Structure 1
């Protein structure tokens, strides 16, 4: 059983933190929220999945939707809701498969790092609950295709990364500190762009610095 406390972290917020730490801080510490076309598209896809029947049976595969999961080990203490959990029964027993839905496949890679870590966090929950080694997939709505994620060769490394990540998130949350702005090519698609205004802030900072230098030079002259 998972007992929620101040240290409990949602798996979704792990993905938010990796996507942009400043955006995560605005969402989780300042309770800021805004939507754009990308967020709306993702919400529609997840709503369609989560509004499906609780369980479907097709060709011997039981498919469960909106499945709550957790891992209450001290180093993790995380929870989340799976888009989809498939359970296949064969001679060797039950095979569990996580399917995470995403609206758009990345252009130059099979998956983004933040999405991969989100699915890994889901996996350690399912593995812990069912004492298994589940399969993991990301389904992309735009290509209508699945990409399989394999963690066997890097499981310890990813576990260490996740634990360190969760520790940083808890430190920010306890101090009430929002991580600093770091502009990137993801800013253009962020729903909080107008709230965060990374380019404007950087530009204003640069302009102010230039004004101060000009004033100092005028005084010196």
Structure 2
């Protein structure tokens, strides 16, 4: 049972926290926002996916922009796409009485440079899975579709369930502590900020002070 003083955690914020706890604090506590090319690209991809109505397809049917929640963990979010594939051994029974395998598909603009599974991406989908499993009463599979290479990466949730669960549980606890404290974390030493859309919000650039220029301005007045 969740505490009466707990703070609900938005699943999308997990990626921000993994990238930088300070970014997470600026977004969730200060409600700061700024966009760069990466953010805009991601927004466009999600808009395209979410604008679809889902419906029937060759291998079953799909739903887009599905709101998910898990009351026990007090987390919520929106899944890009949920696919329901006919499977006689599937653990989800649809309204038509048929069995289906359920797969969560998250859409991302770029695949990691090393071609491996991105931890922030897989953790985000696993958190969605913890919600979807409760909502649909099944054991959802997970995948990430990378738009730049037009390929889908299947996530190893069945074989690494305990690892992902402990990781997500720990992250949610840390995030909730920050939300309840209302204090924005300091920037981590060695944090790479070049790709962060909040770089100028986090570390505002100040004009360098010039004694000569200051005197010139005074004389001009």
The TM-score range, normalised by the shorter chain, is 0.7 to 0.9
In 2, Cα distance between equivalents of 1:47 and 1:179: 31
How far the C-alpha of 1:64 sits from its partner, in A, is 0.8
* 1:153 alignment partner in structure 2: 159
The 1:136/1:106 distance shift into structure 2, 3 A limit, reads same
Q: Distance in 1 between matches of 2:52 and 2:191?
A: 35
Give the SS at the match of 2:142. strand
More helix by proportion, 1 or 2?
1
* Number of matched pairs: 194
- After superposition, the C-alpha distances for 1:180-210 in whole angstroms (9 at most, x for unaligned) are 1025564111101111139x79xxxxxxxxx
1:89 matched to 2:80? The reply is no
Separation of aligned partners in 2, 1:52 and 1:149: 24
SS of corresponding position for 2:159: helix
Q: Which runs of 5+ in 2 are unaligned?
A: 90-98, 207-221
- Select 2:130's aligned residue among 124, 131, 139: 124
Deviations 1:13-46 (A, max 9, x none): 1111111111011111111110001100000000
- Provide the rounded CA distance (Å) in 2 between the counterparts of 1:184 and 1:42: 26
Residues 35 and 197, structure 2, Cα contact 8 Å, conserved in 1: yes
What is aligned with 2:178?
Answer: 172
Show structure 1 runs of 4+ deviating over 3 A. 183-186
Separation in structure 1 between the aligned mates of residue 88 and residue 183 of structure 2, nearest angstrom:
52
Q: Does the C-alpha gap of structure 1 residues 101 and 186 become closer, same or farther in structure 2, counting only changes over 3 Å?
A: farther
Task: Give the gaps of 5 or more residues in structure 1.
Answer: 202-221
Provide the aligned C-alpha RMSD in A: 2.0
Measure how far apart 1:166 and its partner are.
1.0
Partner SS state of residue 139, structure 2: coil
TM-score (norm 2): 0.82
TM-score (norm 1): 0.82
